[in-house]
Amino acid sequence: MADVSTTEPTRVLIAADKFKGSLTAVQVAEHVAAGLRRAAPGVGVEALPVADGGDGTVEAALAAGFEAREAEVTGPLGAPVTATFALSADGTAVVEMAEASGLRHLPAGVFTPLTATTYGTGELLRAALDAGARTIVFGVGGSASTDGGAGMLAALGASFLDDDGDPVPHGGGPLTELTSADLSGLDPRLADVPVILASDVDNPLTGPKGAAAVYGPQKGASDEDVTTLDNALTHYVDVLERAIGPRAVECAQSPGAGAAGGIGYGALLGLGATFRPGIEVMLEVLDFGAALARAGLVITGEGALDQQTLHGKAPAGVAAAARAAGVETVAVCGRLDLPRETLAAAGIGRAYPLLELEPDPGRCMAEAGALLERAAEAIARDCLN
């Protein structure tokens, strides 16, 4: 644990992700800081909420000092929604597809796996270009759609037509009607603006590990819908191969193509995006290294520490960076499904699950803020005193 022999109190860096369905990353940091200060009044605390490219990525950038920009765009069902992106003084834009095309915009209990569109995400990217973005960090996750990014590309100037020469309707299902594709009308500014596809998902576009098969059910897709969507995406790639050549197939098989209902494919193929692990990108964007250099202890976390955490999620990325810098890391979480040895191998010295404080899952989620403060008090006792 942290060295307690020094006269200066240990400075704590809180770099946790959201507790999904309970608290945002900003709220997590606020509650952890409150608990630390109550138990160790003299402690220095710095909060740097983090995200891995999914929900909460823009919020993390805003908490780090980026400027909020808003645009009215087309939501996943076609109705207008207000979406926010983040812009830094040096022209780095953080764009989160869930802001425009996420499940959050669907009415409770309503899913439209075959017809939900990413058109609004394309409009949001165009708004970032209009705002002067020089680099775009494109965070994907939490999507309502499985359209391979066709809607996004259409909003940016691509053409997807059926047998009658009409634009195919929105959504992944109607891609079965696609006859011709033309990407030559894409916004020319994209050629000069690097796009980084930030995601913790490395699935290909189609097949048993593809966008429809793995993530379609989360969006309300039945087994029949999954088959329809996978066939539609396969056909989509075939048409694009005829239009632009073998690169269409290469991109479909590339890591990240299946991210967020295949919007990763649209980004790789049409935007010339570079795929990188989302947490790696966000730690750079948030200048995590500078904050880490000021810290003697890092507190990270997310709603559940489990096997998925080890595959590109925020806590694993934070812990790896902290370990490389020789800084101890502990974690807070709602649920802990990893043994101590696995945590240690990931660079996390100890975890503080809220379910140990309140074993009822419903109450634990409802009272997560107060429980986090209690967990932070325990961290202060164990690591700071």
Predicted confidence band of residue 3 (pLDDT cuts 50, 70, 90):
very low
Q: How far is CA 165 from the centre of its chain?
A: 36
Residues 327, 53: Cα–Cα separation, whole Å? 24
Q: Residue 137 pairs with which residues in a beta bridge? A: 94, 196
| Res 358 pLDDT > 70 | yes
For the chain, the C-alpha Rg in angstroms (whole number) is: 22
**Three-class secondary structure of residue 341 per DSSP:** helix
pTM over 0.85: yes
All domains of the chain in start order, with CATH: 11-50+286-384 (3.40.50.10350), 57-279 (3.90.1510.10)
Of the ranges 98-102, 108-112, 220-224, 242-246, which one carries the lowest mean pLDDT score? 108-112
| Res 242 pLDDT > 60 | yes
Classify strands 135-139 and 92-96 as parallel, antiparallel or unpaired.
parallel
| Mean pLDDT for the chain overall | 95
Classify strands 159-161 and 11-14 as parallel, antiparallel or unpaired.
unpaired
Residue-wise pLDDT for 194-211, tens only, equals 999 999 889 999 999 999
